[in-house]
Amino acid sequence: MRNVLFDEFSQSASNAVAIDPASLQVRKACMDDIQPLLSLINDYASKGVMLPRTEFEMSENIRDFTLIFSANQLVGCGALHFYSPTTGEVRSLAVDPKVKGYGIGRLIVSALEQEAKQFHLHSMFAFTYVDRFFAKLGFVEVERGELPLKAWKDCLRCPKFQCCDEIAMVRYLDGSPHPQADTTGRMSHPELISLPTVRRHG
């Protein structure tokens, strides 16, 4: 199980609140944001839909995170974690269930995409339950074996490791699944490593 979620995943928030979309503010995270981030992410983790995070992990990875605030209240977060010079993972994507329906998930992914382009990444990938959301943003479904080997490090501590039911998706930022060609003219993707395919259940 991975840690990608968005504001339309939870359809039954009983204490939804209204917000002014014009008031939303997007910025990179800092150390002072660690506790609000832990509260948001671990609330989803307690429901079994995200991986739990610790203060140490958040401190180590705080520079990956982009946050969205409404009236100084954290309402959404997402991280872009670099895995190679050309690819990164969209992870820890979460939106406060009380403010679902305002497009906050899309806003976060858009900000992460702009960041990826600034660093000249070729692609972004995600493991998710909400493939239709990512498909609307230009992601395509791929076999897990097409993703970087290093991306599996979090999977090893997941309770669903042997029966994972999440979907692997990739967004090719230049529109092409292959960043370069070798001397034979064949296209290659140097950071992708062949792995055994894991069958989806459910």
Neighbouring C-beta atoms of residue 110, cutoff 10 Å: 15
d(CA 104, CA 82) in angstroms, rounded, equals 22
pLDDT tens, residue by residue, 176-199: 665 443 333 333 343 443 333 333
pLDDT single digits (tens) 35-44: 999 999 999 9
The Cα 126–Cα 141 span in angstroms is 10
The CATH superfamily of 23-179 is: Gcn5-related N-acetyltransferase (GNAT) (3.40.630.30)
> Whole-structure pTM over 0.85, yes or no?
no
**How far is 119 from 116, CA to CA, in rounded Å?**
5
Give the span between the Cα atoms of 79 and 67, in whole angstroms: 9
